[in-house]
Amino acid sequence: MDTAKKSASVEASARIDSALNRSMMQLLDHVEYRLITGGEDLEAIYRLRYKSYLRSGMCGPIAGGMFEDRWDNLPNSYRFGVYCYGELVSTVRLHYISSDQPYSPSVDAYPEILLPRLARGETFIDGTRFATDPDSAPAPGVLPFLTLRICMAAYCYFRQTAMFIPIKLEHSAFYARFFSATQRTAGKAFPGVLPPLALFEIPGNQENVQRILDRLPFFRSTATEQRLMFGNPAINRLTPLSILPTAKYYRDAA
């Protein structure tokens, strides 16, 4: 009986993944990623962060209605806006950290975890300031996938040891299910936000990355897309760089 239940659960999960892949592939035709470094688009993502964080209790009222911090303008910082049907729907910030550039909010919040590993020559992506606008979502539940697709492009470009994400424990099941994330710390104070966050690690080994891409092929990206996203942070560029998703090219070639 247990075997039958397990088999039924696996089949149901496969059907859900298949439906998700079909809808996401169709949606990507209407998505644009922007590497944002200044101007009105930068203010827009700071406003979106504030709106999202205030609604979810991540922060309190801030004069001016924008959420930014001292890690935004670091040379190893990449700030992205996700646009769907021309509207900003989500944002995320990534830092590529190494022994040469050990600068990110998670390094400051969890030095006991990250600094010894950086000293050994490991490299990481630190994913923070993930914010969405549910009111603008094109469909329920799609914004995390649209946004985290950027993280998978980073994986394929940098080939880093792992990705670290500081999150509320209530979100851990999602990251464990789709990314094999493992909790590395208890919840603790994190710079700039009110609730305690726990540090989770997503392995960057080829086996885990390939498993994710096989299960969710809309996360795939071409080398050109990856290079446009991460080839140069261009932190002083005033005009945002617009990047179109390329997962469909893998689909069409299959």
CATH code of 78's domain: 3.40.630.30
Produce one character per residue of 144-177: b if its CB has 16 or more CB atoms within 10 Å, e if not: bbbbbbbbbbbbbbbebbbbbbbbbeebbeebee
Produce one character per residue of 24-48: b if its CB has 16 or more CB atoms within 10 Å, e if not: bbebbeebbbbbbbbeebbebbbbb
Cα 146–Cα 151–Cα 152 angle in degrees, nearest 5: 90
12: confidence class by pLDDT, cuts 50, 70, 90: very low
- Choice among 10-19, 38-47, 143-152, 228-237 with the minimum mean pLDDT: 10-19
If one counts the domains in the chain, the total is 1
Q: Six-digit token pair at 36?
A: 């944002």
pLDDT digits (tens, 9 = 90+) for 79-129: 999 999 999 999 999 999 999 999 999 999 999 999 999 999 999 999 999
Q: Six-digit token pair at 164?
A: 């670290």
Q: Closest Cα partner for 52 from 86, 88, 85?
A: 88
3-class secondary-structure state, position 42: helix
| Mean pLDDT, all residues of the chain | 89
Confidence check: pLDDT of 53 > 70: yes
pLDDT digits (tens, 9 = 90+) for 186-240: 999 999 999 999 999 999 999 999 999 999 999 999 999 999 999 876 555 556 6
Domain that holds residue 48: 2-253
What is residue 174's predicted lDDT score, i.e. its pLDDT? 95
The percentage of residues in the chain with a pLDDT greater than 70, rounded to a whole number, is 89
34: confidence class by pLDDT, cuts 50, 70, 90: very high
15: confidence class by pLDDT, cuts 50, 70, 90: low
Residue that has been written with the tokens 């999150």 in this structure: 167
Q: Closest Cα partner for 107 from 170, 166, 167?
A: 166
Would you say 252 and 43 are in contact if contact means Cβ atoms under 8 Å apart? no
